[in-house]
Amino acid sequence: MLWLALHFPALSLEVFTRGSASALPLAVVEKQGNRTWVIARNDPAAERGVRPGMAASAAQALADELVVRQRDPGDEQAALTGLAAWAGRFTPSVSLQAPDGLLLEVGTCLTLHRGLDNLRARVREGVDAMAYSATSACAPTALGAWLLAQAGEETAVDANALEARLARLPVGLLDLSPDTRESLDLVGAHTLGDCLKLPRAGLARRYGQGLLDQLDRALGRLPEPRAFFAPPPRFERRLELPAPVEHAEALLFVARRLLPELEGYLALRQAGVQALEYVCRHEGRPDTVLKLGFVKPVRAASRMLLLLRETLERTVLPAPVYAVRLRARRLQPLHGSSPDLFQRGEEAGDGDLLLERLRVRLGRDAVYGVEAVADHRPERAWRRCEAGTRTKPAAAPKRPLWLLPRPLPCRNGDLVLKGAVERIESGWWDGRDATRDYYVAQDRAGARLWVYCERATGEWFVHGLFA
C-alpha cells in the first residue's frame, strides 16, 4: 500500500479566509480557562505584530482593524469533510485524520494518474485552487506518511528508507500525553530514533504499550486498520464570507472554492447533477436562491462555473451577502468517459452548453425545441417540446423552417412563383378552416418566400421564409 498524507496546519484560519481575496488582518482565538488566546492569524495580522499564543485583548490593542473570529470546530470538521469529498476524485480510499488531515491510499490508482509525481502535482493544484495550504508526504504506512506530513517534509519514501526518515522526527508528533512527552524529554528521547534505541520492554513498562504500538504502526510492524470516508447522500457546503459582498459577480470567487469539492464528491459517487442551487444569505432578508439547470447530468466544475458566471452577471442582489451555500440534492448516475485522443476542449461542439447559456440569457421559456404534429395546416403542424429532445422529421412537403407568427398580406404581381402548388383544405372539424394554395415564390430582391392564396377571397399572404 502507499499512503498520501495531507496536513492542513492552518485549517482553523482558512475556514474564515478562503471565502475572500481581501487582505484584512484576521486572527482566530480560542478560550482556554478564563482567558482567550490567539491560535492563528493571517499575514496582514502578523505584519501588525499579532502572533499565536498572544492574549486576544493584546492582539486587538496592537491592531485596531483586526478582525477576530472565535475558533469553530464545527466549521473545521465541515471543511475537512469537504476536502475528503474533493479527494474522492483521486481515489475512493480516503480516510479522515481529524482535526486537520487526510490520508489517501493511492497505491492502487497510480497508473490512472500517470505516476506518483503527476498525482501529487494534481493534488497540489487542487488544494491551491480551494485556497487551502497543506503539506503532503507519501509512505508505505498511513501513520508514517502522516508523521512526515506533520513535520512539513514534502517527500515520498519507500519501505527501505522509512525507518531512517522517521527516526529524525521529533517525538512530539506522536499522540502522547503531556506527561509522557515531558518524561521522554527528561531521559533524552527527543526523536523517534531515540525511542527506538531504548529497550522495548522497559519502554512499554514505563510509558505504556501505546507508545510502542504507535512506533510499530508507523514502521509497518503492526497493521493499522482505518475507516474510509463515506460520502453523504446529498452535497451541501456553506462558506461564510469574511466581509459582506454587495455585487453578485464577486460571488464567483466563492464558487471557485466550492465547486471543486462538488466535482470530487460527484466523482466519488459516480454521479452527475442536472440542477444546482447557489444560495446567497443576507442579514434580515430572505435568501437569494440562484438555480442552475443543465440539459444533461454534468460533473465538471468548469462547466458549472461557466453557467454560474452567466447567471451572476444577470443577478442584482437585494442586500449584501454574508454567506453562500452550494446545494446539489438530486444525483444522477454518470459514469466516466474515455479521454479524447485529440485532446479537444470540453466545449468544442457542445450543443448542450449553448442551450444552457441561451436559457440563462433569454429565460427558460424562450428556449425550446420543436416537434412535428400530424396536421396539414402549417400553424398547427408543430408544437413546443423540451430543448434537445430528438424528434422524428415531418413527412410533409418541403416547407420553410421560419414560419411567420402571422401571415403578412402581399401582392402577387411582385412575386415570381416557383414549383408546383400545395393545396390545403383542412380544419373543418374544429372551426379553423384553411383552404389555401401554397407556392414557393421569389421576390425582386431574390429572397425565397412561402406564400399562399386564400381561395375563398383570392388574397395573397406571405407565411414563411426559406433560408
Please say if the pLDDT value at position 338 is more than 90: no
**Angle between helix 200-207 and 178-186 (nearest 10):** 140
Give 159's DSSP letter: H
- Nearest CA among 91, 102, 170 for reference residue 135: 102
Q: What is the pLDDT of residues 230-259, one digit of tens each?
A: 988 899 998 888 788 888 888 888 898 899
Q: Per the omega criterion (within 30 degrees of 0), is the bond before 378 cis?
A: no
In percent, how much of the chain has pLDDT > 70?
A: 95
**What's the CA angle centered on 286, arms 318 and 362, to 5 degrees?**
55
- Nearest CA among 70, 98, 72, 105 for reference residue 83: 98
Please say if the pLDDT value at position 339 is more than 60: no
Q: What is the pLDDT of residues 24-60, one digit of tens each?
A: 888 999 988 888 999 998 888 899 999 999 999 898 8
Q: For residue 393, what are the β-bridge partners? A: none
Average pLDDT, the chain: 88
Q: Could you tell me the pLDDT band of residue 419, with boundaries at 50, 70 and 90?
A: confident
- From the number of C-beta atoms within 10 Å of its C-beta (0-12, 13-18, 19+), residue 20 rates as buried
What is the model's pLDDT at position 344? Answer: 52
- Nearest CA among 455, 453, 458 for reference residue 439: 453
**Angle between helix 209-219 and 200-207 (nearest 10):** 130
Residue with cell 476536502: 83
Nearest-10 Cα torsion for 421, 427, 431, 434: -10
pTM of the model: 0.75
Instruction: Give the type of residue at 39.
Output: I
Give 171's DSSP letter: G
More confident residue, 401 or 288: 288
Please say if the pLDDT value at position 346 is more than 70: no
Please say if the pLDDT value at position 100 is more than 60: yes
The C-alpha atoms of residue 461 and residue 449 are separated, in whole angstroms, by: 10
Q: What is the pLDDT of residues 118-175, one digit of tens each?
A: 999 999 999 998 889 999 999 999 999 999 999 998 889 999 999 999 999 999 999 9
Determine the average pLDDT of the residues in 341-370: 71
DSSP assignment of 91-117 equals -S-EEEETTTEEEEE-TTSTTTTTSHH
Q: What is the pLDDT of residues 197-242, one digit of tens each?
A: 999 999 889 988 999 999 999 999 999 889 999 988 899 998 888 7
| CA distances, 390 to each of 24, 346, 368, 399 (Å) | 54, 22, 12, 20
